Structure 1
Amino acid sequence: MQIIKRNIGLTVGESLMRVYVAAPEPVGQYPGILFYSDIYQLGRPITLLADRLAGYGYVVAAPEIFHRLEPIGTVIEPNDLGRLRGNDDAQRTAIVDYDADAQAVLAWLKSEDSVAAEKLGTFGFCIGGHLALRAALQPGVKASACFYPTGVHNGRLGQGTADTIDRLDELDAEVLTVFGTLDPHVPAEGRQQILQALDKVDVSHATLLFEANHTFMRDDGYRYDPVATDAAWREAVEFLKRALA
């Protein structure tokens, strides 16, 4: 399916948040997806994934997660300095601000004529995987796909300690988690904590485990694993198709 791409601006508090939107070109109504990047924001590896998802029949809205700290359009380079910068931005952003951003994008999706407002999902990578799971606590979200989500098991997200894992009983969404066995940021004990917490609540959830490293779906780094990426992608598309039917 061919897609159309554009950028919109949403004001959250006193900050203008750029949101990259990719949507199917044919006129119609489609499920809406709040799509989160990793700490490097909306570089081409991430927008390619957003575009790819839109091609399967979704309106995908990807916000710049550090819009309060970085100029509009900033892409953080995925190198040593960029990693320091992205992690610093992540730690300097208040958790309530992340929540406000989620509410703003979900409200925008619900207001769009091309979105079936009762079919909303979240999707994210790394810190974005955590943000996707946390955003699924918002009313109306029916599915959440979380790829190597950092900080869920230990509460590391922004300023203070995130209570995401303690609030999973508030979920009204099905959850898919995707992990790599070689990921030092979400070690085996962290994965177990997350999965055990999901088991304790009345939430339909599934998990995928690959012999892969952190950020294995970014196609611009040494940790990229195309075979694991393709397998994860197939499962994620089937998950969304079923959960947002």
Structure 2
Amino acid sequence: MTAVQGTTVDLPTEDGTVDAYLAHPADGEPHPAVLLYMDAFGLRPRLTEMADRLAEAGYTVLVPNVFYRHGRAPVVELPEFIDPGARPEIFENIMPIMRALTPERAMRDAGAYLRWLADCPVAADGPVALTGYCMGARLSLLTAGTYPDRVAAAGGFHGGRLATQTPDSPHLVAGHITAELYFGHADQDPSLPVEQIERLETALTEAGVRHHCEVYPGAGHGFTQADTSAYNAEADERHWAALLDLLKRTF
């Protein structure tokens, strides 16, 4: 097993300073870079564990606290095991912060993350890969369309609101994407109903984007997050297989 080094780093954006977690093989050599977009619960031990697992597979992984405008992580106090059904105040606290992260702000930040990785000595030269979870899947899709020259592959898992009828829906960037995409949808996910799955598939196909979208049966929104009540171990392992396969094809 590859030894991994993980550290907290700060990086500048146009709007402030982002705290982030950086994980990479401990050999000091540059490795292909992966930008990991958090879910709404934010940068926490579960996400650093996921970053470490990718680093063990040979990648340099950056996990930014995309809510940095509201403070360093943890921005919202969380229990060790997250069950929003039992603790509705968790989402009550998170939702205003999520709404404040407009697509314009998020993509301005994405440029800063990508520039930082381009200068990072343990990140290999060239385009990066993305993976995102819940709201992070939306950010992954938007980043692939906003910075096509910097993104070689993008994954998204249990993403919500990927193809709405609003003018800022993420699927509308499909025509700009040059990366290969993979999406693992949860079939028990009210934030991504069948009509949005079909709308996303149509947009990617019509734009000629290399992509593969799958619906994971029996999986709910958040199925990769082992510290939450939504966790589904079988779907999570399927996600890891798909993500690592995408990265192997990319790099």
Pairwise CA RMSD = 1.5
User: Do residues 73 (structure 1) and 96 (structure 2) align?
Assistant: no
How far apart are the structure 2 equivalents of 1:100 and 1:37?
A: 17
Shift of 1:186: 0.8
Query: 8 Å contact 1:17–1:64 — kept in the other structure?
Result: yes
* Letter aligned with residue 105 of structure 2: D
How far apart are the structure 2 equivalents of 1:67 and 1:202?
A: 35
Query: 8 Å contact 1:121–1:136 — kept in the other structure?
Result: no
Shift of 1:208: 2.3
2:123 is matched with 115
Shift of 1:190: 1.2
* Letter aligned with residue 149 of structure 1: G
Deviations 1:73-128 (A, max 9, x none): 22532432121222210112232210111111111111112212214111110000
1:134 is matched with 142
Shift of 1:229: 0.7
- For these two proteins, the number of residue pairs brought into alignment is 239
Gaps of at least 5 residues in structure 1 are: none
How far apart are the structure 2 equivalents of 1:93 and 1:115?
A: 27
1:58 is matched with 59
Shift of 1:50: 1.4
Shift of 1:163: 4.2
Using the aligned pairs only, state the percent identity: 24
Q: Identify if the C-alpha distance between structure 1 residues 113 and 53 changes in structure 2 by more than 3 Å, giving closer, same or farther.
A: same
Q: Identify if the C-alpha distance between structure 1 residues 155 and 217 changes in structure 2 by more than 3 Å, giving closer, same or farther.
A: farther
How far apart are the structure 1 equivalents of 2:165 and 2:51?
A: 27
Query: 8 Å contact 2:163–2:169 — kept in the other structure?
Result: no
How far apart are the structure 2 equivalents of 1:221 and 1:170?
A: 35
Deviations 1:189-233 (A, max 9, x none): 111111111111121101222111100111122221101111121
Q: Identify if the C-alpha distance between structure 1 residues 14 and 189 changes in structure 2 by more than 3 Å, giving closer, same or farther.
A: closer
Q: TM-score, normalised by structure 2?
A: 0.90
Q: TM-score, normalised by structure 1?
A: 0.92
Shift of 1:29: 2.2
How far apart are the structure 2 equivalents of 1:210 and 1:23?
A: 29
Q: Identify if the C-alpha distance between structure 1 residues 21 and 221 changes in structure 2 by more than 3 Å, giving closer, same or farther.
A: same
Deviations 1:28-69 (A, max 9, x none): 221111111111111222221111111111111111111112
Query: 8 Å contact 1:155–1:164 — kept in the other structure?
Result: no
